[in-house]
Structure 1
Amino acid sequence: MFSTLFIYSSYTNTSKNLMNEKKLSIQFVIQAAMAVVKDHQEKVKKGELTLEQAKKMAAASIGRIRYGQAKDDYLWINDSFPKMVEHPVKSLVGNDLNTFKDKVGDKIFVKMVDIAKASGDGFIQYTWVDKKDKSKHVPKLSYIAYDKDWDWILGTGIYIEDVKATINKALIEDITKVIIAMIIIILAISFVVKKNIRGPLLSIAEKLFKTSEYVSNGANKSLDNCNLLSAASQNQASSLQQTVSSVEEINAMIQRNSASAQASKDTSLKSQNSANKGKGSVDEMLVTIEDITKNNEKVISRMKLTNSEVSEILNIIKNINEKTKVINDIVFQTKLLSFNASVEAARAGESGKGFAVVAEEIGALANMSGSASEEIRELIDSSMNKVEQIVNSTTSVMDEMIAEGTQAVDKGKEKAYECKVILDEIIGNVDLVNNQVNEIANASKEQSQGVHEISKAMEILDQVGHENNSTVIETAESSKQLQREAQELIHVIEQVKEMVEGKSKKAS
């Protein structure tokens, strides 16, 4: 009766303590995941990430978290609609969960929303697919926590069957210990009543011996399994450490890439500024060419005006030439009058001598005027020819200069416009490169943040791995202790058998 009460009390306490421990462990996992959410929310407040980027990165980080001995326990996220935000079963992501029911017909996600809005967090029990046998549905206990800012409900759970298996294992250990104690008590009583119960006692001893061997073999197997689990846990911890180191190296590479992208971005901006300056210079050159064109037009206008003025001078010279012809006619008439006067003076005799002298003088003056007029006429003809030559030459040269200047200015404008088009294309390409480099820099930054979150998740897994390793070590110690007790029990049974058989021989 006492042993039964002891076993029942031990089973009750072990069940309660182990279940509380499992509850605390999944609460710890959810708290760690909630810390990831809060960290991304802070980055949104600081302006390091947009809300959409933060939610996407946080959901991805939480969705990658795995824990437990087989690394098959996970977390999920749904909102209060409810709609699935993140889940390892990707077919559930984005689905409306209002009508989702477990195997017994409970709307489990609707109940989760009720718990989240009522108290912010809590436990819920329901039926879910077994981890090993997908055709089997088993009870599961989950813990959920609600984040109001993003309207996210984070959850993870444990399979009650796994907890019961652990409890049953502990119960077997307790039963074994009770059996050992009972055997010791029975052996003690047997010393008092061994003569009357020799046969049954030997039979019991044989059964206890076999049971002890079975317990010893079970303890050996449990110890071997614990050793294997310990080695696996150590290998897993080593792999996690290597993974963390690799993630840190990747993070460093991403940061270097981000720095290189930023440097390329700065260089691209400098190139863009230089191209803009070049474009400004070309624009100024176009303005200058326009000014030159206007000045050429003014020079052309002035040269045309000069030619017009020279033509007017030529017309004046022609008028003077006409006037000189009139003077020559007057000189000719004067000579004729002088000749007639001389003839009339000769006819007059002595009385006409004075008049003859005057007529001669007038004739001489007329000859002088005629000579001067002829010289003037020759000079005017020569000037007219030279002026006409100058006007023709100037006009021809001016036409050539105008044509060449206009052609050169047109070519200059054409080349300047070509330079402007090329610089516009260069600026457009630089803008495109600048945008692409900026996108690379932002992507590198997001990758660095994602790797950082992976590092945090790996640290959590490392902690869980160490806890599992500690549990395995404790279980191994218990198995060793059970093995030692089984060996002691076998030794005691052998002594009892020797004592009983020895006494019987003496009696015979």
Structure 2
Amino acid sequence: MLNKLSLWQRIAIPVLAMTLGLIIVSSMLVGHYYERSSQAQGMARSAQAIQAISRIIHQIQKERATSVLFMNGANTKDELKAQRDVVDQELLFLTSRKAELLNSTLQNQIDNLSGTHQAIRAQVDAKSGAAAEAAKAIGILVDHWIKAQASCANEFHLDGLESTLLSISIFEKSKESMGRMRALLNAVLSANQPISAATVSLLATHKSGVLSNMESPGLTISHTSHQDIDKLLAAEDWLSVLSTYNRVVEKSGKGDYGVDAKQFSATITRVIDSVRGVIDPEITMTSASIHNAAAAAQRNFILCVATVFSLIVVSMLISVYITRAINAALKAVAELLSHGADAVAKIAVQVAMASQNLASSATEQASALQETTAAVEETKSMIKKNAENSSKSATLSQQSYETALKGKEAIIDMTGSIDGIAHSNAEIMAQNEVTNKELMDIVRVIREIEGKTKVINDIVFQTRLLSFNASVEAARAGEQGKGFAVVAEEVGNLAQMSGTSAREIQILLDNSVRLVDTIVTNTRQKMNSLSQVGKEKIEAGIVTAERCGDILQQIVANVAIVGQMTNEISSACHEQSEGITEINNAMTEMDTVAHQNSAACEQTSVAAEELKTHAGKLLSMVQQLEQVIHGSVQNPVQPVKIAARNVQVEDDEWDQAA
């Protein structure tokens, strides 16, 4: 198998195998960095969406507090509308970029949340139900927004940054618990009435939600954010909120809490804003970390791709350079050897062909000698026959001369007869023309009748017109004109019958004219054709007769020449007998030369065989070298097959030829 591979392939296959391994490993690295880059870019979009949702949640929580105060009569419609405008502005920002920042599921979820929000607003505007129910509905809406925020945080993963985004959702839950606490306390303080144990329990749940989420061990935030949370929980506003909470719990059975609802709402709103102040910087820092990770992943991806491409190009260039250098040197040697082998093979072929030609010439020469001997014997007998035939030819020549003279006279008579036939043919043509003229006279008479018939048609038309006019006048005359009308009608009928007969006569005349024209035309064409054919045959006969006369005249001249040549043949026979003696002498010399050519053919054949053997060995070496360079050769150089043969002429063949 290895012997079938070229030198280039033997070098290229290991290099390609290493390059392929490098490509596989590099592809894995490229895929890894590409995945990191994709996750980083997706997480960056998620961070933007989380930040936008956080702002929306914050403003919805404010809207909830404002709605509760509105339904309890502590706020005006304008204050509620102002807060709603802020929420709508934040929603507009997110919905305008939702196709860019969110997947299709979250887009549908946000659309549904927007519809639910509008329905809750309609209930608040109508003040249908208690303020607590509206606060609860808005709380459920906020929970769904927080879940959407958590879904965004869990969509992409990169170096644990997704846990930081999830911590934002935990903050939002804490802030939501604080917002529900604000809404419930606003309602309680606005009503300033005793509350049930369930309401107290609900307030405790909200307070516990705030503290548990704030101090959750699952929070993955910066040290600065932890310090900010500690400061927030120790701040005067939060302590004031806790004090109000404790007062409401203590006086839950009596009411009359002694706390202004709007003042409390402003205080707890500041606390919520402080929580918001922790969330925003955390989102900003997380976004910066995500962008840095995305930039690093992009740089690593580009660097990896460039490195892989560079290594592949360098390895290919090195393998091509080495292979070409070795292959060029060996190819030059192979070409030199191949040219030398071709030259030797061509010389061997030429020598073999020369040997074959020489052997063939010797064989043909021996055969020619044998044929020449037989021809000499035949020539002797033919000379005798020529002498006898020459005397007979003289007699026959005289007889042929007399016969040719008689044939010439017969040809002259035949030419006169043909001239008579031509004259008769001309008379037939003249009579045919006379007949055609008579037929044309008949046609002219028929056409005159046709003209008269047209006159009759005109008379019929006028008669019918007069009959019609008479009928009209009879109708005008009334009873007195009835008899005249009958006569006019009969006249019209007769005129119609006359017109019909005239048309029938017209049709018959037209048919007669066409028939006569057809007969005249056909007769003229046939007669002209027959006359032309007869004329051509007569002219051909005249030409043939003249040619016969010329030929007979030439025969007469040739017979005289034959007589003269017969005498010359007799003289030539004597000269031929002398030439036979010279031919016998030449044959003796040719026999000696043929034996010498036979010996030379044998020596040349032996030399050609040896040269062919050496050429085959040289070509075999060239093939082996080319196989090393190119591998399995598709069209290997074939050794030249020299069809040399030893031409041997047996002694008995030469004896027979002699």
TM-score by length of 2: 0.24
Q: Which structure: greater strand fraction?
A: 1
- TM-score w.r.t. length of structure 1: 0.30
Select the structure that is richer in helix. 2
Indicate the structure (1 or 2) with the bigger Cα radius of gyration: 2
